[in-house]
Amino acid sequence: MKIDTFKVEKWFNKYEKDALYDLADTCIEPLSISELLELTAQDYEDVFNKKLNYGEIYGSERLRSAVSTLYEKQNISNITITHGAIGANQLVMLALVEPSDKVVSIVPTYQQHYSIPKSIGADVKLYFLKEKNGWLPDLKELEQIVGNDTKIICMNNPNNPTGAIIPDEMLYKIVEIADRCGAYILCDEVYRGLNHQGNSFGVSVADIYEKGISTGSMSKVFSLAGLRLGWVCAASDIISSVNSHREYNTISVGILDDYFASIAIENKDKIIEQNIKKLLTGKKILLDWAKNESKIRLVEPKAGTTAFVHYDLPISSTDLCAGLQKDTGVMILPGETMELDGYLRIGFGNNFEKLEIALKIFSEWLDKSDK
């Protein structure tokens, strides 16, 4: 089965190992095992005494119960545990998309949401978010593209790369658009839990629509990307179709991953409070820099770990990022890898000293490039 190159992953493979300042990353500083055990007041012996058998098939009851607390109306039968959100998204596509199905994908987004259905033979329509709308969908335009024959709408809320979060009323309207034609909504909610203000967890599509599917993971919200653990949350008939495919590629996730994820979610308030503080610190550094940088314009991110920044130079984002890294070691992700040239994705959740220095270096480089 042919599939398009995953452009963001290719970029990381090529540039990450040599980066002196990595501003392309979407994670918040990761937790170590000892930090996690201390933060959650766990006994080290519990870890060392674990027998390394297969785990419970769909994820332990303890873990699925913990995940269900991240939603309003879900229980363990609505959740299956996967290899990261990347595994969750793929399994949902394999379970639901047939050749010739119409799939509407709201971009920019994680490339899985259009390249996997395309590889299955679906008729994929991209709906482009616009900066002038604060990176939120225009519902009239969305309704038009969805029409009456869409099988799945794929979206990412809060959004990577823009940091936009769809207001609740708008999310309900998107559900109405989907419901009119009986479409599923696959909402990648991997950044849900990282709203910068108010309740860190916004409304989930799984709680408000019977054909709403939420995917999530430990990678961003809990700073535990190394667990490689995520989930699908949806109505039990959808979970059952997902599990039919899951039997062929997962068996179970690792016992230790399941355990670490359980204790992290059971102590979510402590971890998330710490992470929001970090995000607000990083965001302030980014916004202060952008205010004083005449060649840069950005919509303030309201959630998540990244901003999508417009630059004012007559070169492609790919050439800009390749040149910047070659000259300075500063790594930024080109918008072209997310289908929107003229923009750059900057992550602000990690290592603030480096963030501040790297942005200064970037400004100096922009000045030189303009001459």
Ligand X SMILES: Cc1ncc(COP(=O)(O)O)c(C=O)c1O
Interaction site with ligand X (CB under 6 A): 26, 84-86, 110, 156, 160, 188, 190, 217, 219, 225, 230
Least Å distance, CB 332 to ligand X, is: 15
E strand or H helix at 107 = strand 102-107
Q: Which CB atom, from 31 or from 225, has the smaller least distance to ligand X?
A: 225
Beta carbon nearer to ligand X, 124 or 190? 190
SS3 assignment, position 338: helix
CB of 84 to ligand X, least distance (A): 3
CA distance 180 to 244: 28
Considering the complex, what minimum distance in angstroms separates the CB of residue 303 from ligand X?
12
Cα angle 154, 156, 161; round to 5: 130
Nearer to ligand X among residue 106 and residue 366 (C-beta): 106
CB-nearer residue toward ligand X: 15 or 110: 110
The Cα-based distances of 150 to 69, 177, 182 in angstroms read 31, 10, 8
Q: How far is the CB of 122 from ligand X (least distance, A)?
A: 19
Which residues, 6+ apart, have CB-to-CB distance to 164 below 8 Å? 129, 134, 135, 136, 158, 299, 301, 302, 303
Q: What is the DSSP letter of 230?
A: E
Helix (H, G, I), strand (E, B) or coil at 197: coil
Cβ closest to ligand X, residue 7 vs residue 295: 7
233 touches 65 (CB < 8 A)? no
Q: In angstroms, give the least distance from the CB of 185 to ligand X.
A: 15
Residue from 316, 324, 317, 221 nearest 276 by CA: 221
> Got the DSSP string for 171-187?
HHHHHHHHHHHT-EEEE
Q: Closest approach of Cβ 34 to ligand X, in Å?
A: 22
- Residues near 41 by Cβ (< 8 Å), separated by ≥ 6? none
In this complex, which beta carbon is closest to ligand X, that of residue 87 or of residue 293? 87
Which CB sits closer to ligand X, 40 or 159?
159
Nearest residue relative to ligand X (C-beta): 84
Q: Assess contact for 83 and 226: CB atoms under 8 A.
A: no
Please state the closest distance from residue 161 (CB atom) to ligand X, in A. Answer: 8
Q: Which is nearer to ligand X, 74 or 157 (CB)?
A: 157
Residues 6+ apart with CB under 8 A from 13: none
Q: At 242, list the tokens.
A: 């997902």
Least distance in angstroms from the C-beta of 217 to ligand X: 3
